[in-house]
A and B are shown apart, each in its own frame.
Chain A
Amino acid sequence: MIQIKDLHKSYHMGSNSLHVLKGINFNVNEGELVSIMGSSGSGKSTLLNILGMLDEADSGQYILDNVPIKNLNEKIAAKYRNEFLGFIFQSFNLINYKSALDNVSMPLYYKGVKRKERTDRAMHYLEKVGLAEWSHHLPSELSGGQKQRVAIARALASDPKVLLADEPTGALDTKTSYEVMELIQGINDEGKTILIVTHEDDIAHMTKRIVNLRDGVIIDDSTVEQVRASAHV
């Protein structure tokens, strides 16, 4: 599903140049649940941003679902993001003046789906994350866990190939974190490919594979025994 070869990325700040990614190679197959770990500054977020086409690599190859991702202009990048990717952020990033339902249906709006169908599909995903009753509430009326579940529903709405989660449990307490992870595991069980950036060990062990990053290179990439989040709840 994802193939990455020799990916490099540097940031330039004035005369200083910071080499963040120093040749990353890795592949993700369809249906995998991968966590990317590393201390802060290890480049894990940068990697995720490049995978999410929010940022561009300096050099290297990135193939997503057999489509080479390179020389993107913003218009095509937006289209690919909409079609291929679903984002889950640490701070949820819901639009605060829109109801949960409107938030979830937003990717469908940008995809050009008709209003009626959009609402139906958004409602379907809200039901899936167990928030059908909250569909008309504003994000400010929801708890942190609920917000993240709305965000997950939104990420799923356009039926993307890959879900990218950047510290999805970073702003949640342990219990809620496990609930969210349970949901993510469930979605993965249905066959969705998911990448999670985290620095929490217990969260990483709820995935099927852990990729460890340090100073811009992968130091460890191993399959692990998945811990079901439901065991903790």
Chain B
Amino acid sequence: MFNRERWSEILEALSANKLRTALTAFGVAWGIFVLVILLALTNGLRNGVTADFGDFATNSMFMWTQGTSKPYKGLPKGRYFNYKIDDVAAIKSQIPNLKYVSPRNQLGGFRGANNVIRGTKTGAFEIYGDYPEYINQQPMDILQGRFVSYSDINEKRKTCVIGTGVIKGLYDKDEDPIGTYIKINGVNFMVVGTFKMSNSQGNQEEEANTIYIPFTTFGQAFNRGDRVGWMAITAKDNVPITTIKQKVFDLMKSRHKVHPEDDRAIGHFDLAEEFGRINGLFSILSIVGYFVGILVLMSGIIGINNIMLIVVKERTKEIGIRRALGASPWTIKSQILQESLLLTTLSGMIGITFAAFLIWGLNTILDNAGPTENFANPSVSMQVVFTALIILIVSGLAAGFIPATRATKMKPVDALRIE
């Protein structure tokens, strides 16, 4: 079927009217170009927006306390309460399907005063008391040393892990921070590790100016006792946190004598829900991209269909001659199908190639321009390209099918009679 004569015949037929072939091919190339570009732009938007979520485990929520809004069991409304470290253990043991429950405490922060001293240098940094699990929820690159460990927690060691901004603020160039001491609010901590956020949540500076210390040490050194500022809770991958969170709230309400219907007492932020909402939006955008792209592609395909019909019509007599010489209907049909297939896939490849160049160009510009709001790394996966190719092949065959049938429908004697 795919021999040299066949190919040279197809090429002869296609190059017989170069301008027409080129214009037809352009229709398909344009269609696939639009399809790929639309999907790439959607992807770019998705990448840009989801980058704002950073690397934080998406199936997570944050939970803190607020004043109660209803009196309950003799307690007045407007009462403030705090989570305790026991609550963490209770959540872990009583709520199934949770992966990590990290209690957290914070010192310093937005517009905080200078709170860290090393020798003659000082700086204002964010200090977090954390458990070792936290690094699983908020992935970060440990540049040197290690993150907080359970030995630190158990022994309430005064160790800390510092960000790159802290190093810049407190250390000279080429100075090795590991093993040195910094004074946080008057308490000395030994630096055991340095980190860098691999994928920023949008506030790189703040992240770099962060110091992690063991949660237990935090409570003791800064007079928090067993109080918990807030919790970061991550559910198992196949169980959305959104479906579990109410159980967690109910447990907390009963443990802290909060009215069961007092929803204002417990504040939370459901990252999974937000993430799902954004993802859903982009899934719809992708579908729109496919839809529009395929419609544009379809008009190109109809162009090929048209041209093949004209070609068949023009060559009616030639087809009659070939049949008189012994060409079977299938030989004729397969040649027309192959012509249409070659034309579609070839022009489709050209479209994909141009789209790839454009995407590459966009990426280069974006890389040079630095981070852009809500847009990053427009790209399409190989899967999309293969899908596009399959669409092309199917539509190439579809475009050739009607003309091919038309070509052999006429009796040879009638075909020969045409001048």
Are A and B a genuine interacting pair, yes or no?
A: yes
Contacts of A54 in B (CB 8 A): 324, 411-413, 416
Contacts of B16 in A (CB 8 A): 97
Q: Is the interface of B mostly helix, strand, loop or mixed?
A: helix
Contacts of B12 in A (CB 8 A): 97-98
Q: Which of A32-40, A72-80, A193-201, A209-217 contacts B (4 or more CB under 8 A)?
A: A72-80
- Complex Cα gap A49–B321 (Å): 13
Shortest distance between the CB of B12 and any CB in chain A (Å): 6
Contacts of A109 in B (CB 8 A): 5
The range of chain A's interface size is 20 to 34
Contacts of B237 in A (CB 8 A): none
Query: Is the pair A95, B321 in contact by a Cβ cutoff of 8 Å?
Result: yes
The range of chain B's interface size is 20 to 34
Contacts of A98 in B (CB 8 A): 12
Closest to A73 in B: B329
Give the A-B contact count at a CB cut-off of 8 A.
60
A125 on the interface (CB 8 Å rule)?
no
User: What 0/1 readout, one digit per residue, does chain A (41-82) give for beta carbons within 8 Å of chain B?
Assistant: 000000001001011000000000000000000110011011
A110 on the interface (CB 8 Å rule)?
yes
Closest to A83 in B: B326
Query: Is the pair A81, B324 in contact by a Cβ cutoff of 8 Å?
Result: yes
User: What 0/1 readout, one digit per residue, does chain A (89-119) give for beta carbons within 8 Å of chain B?
Assistant: 1000101011000000011011100010000
Query: Is the pair B327, A93 in contact by a Cβ cutoff of 8 Å?
Result: no
Q: List 20 A-B contacts (CB under 8 A).
A: A54-B416, A55-B411, A74-B328, A78-B323, A78-B329, A78-B331, A79-B326, A81-B324, A81-B325, A87-B324, A93-B321, A95-B321, A97-B16, A106-B322, A106-B325, A107-B326, A110-B322, A110-B326, A110-B327, A158-B326
> What 3 A-B pairs come out closest when comparing CB atoms?
A82-B326, A54-B413, A110-B326
User: Which residues does A use to contact B, with CB under 8 Å?
Assistant: 49, 52, 54-55, 74-75, 78-79, 81-83, 87, 89, 93, 95, 97-98, 106-107, 109-111, 115, 154, 158
Q: Could you list 15 further interchain pairs (A-B, Cβ under 8 angstroms) beyond the known A81-B323, A81-B324, A97-B12?
A: A74-B323, A74-B329, A74-B408, A75-B330, A78-B326, A79-B328, A82-B325, A82-B326, A83-B326, A97-B16, A106-B325, A109-B5, A110-B327, A115-B5, A154-B325
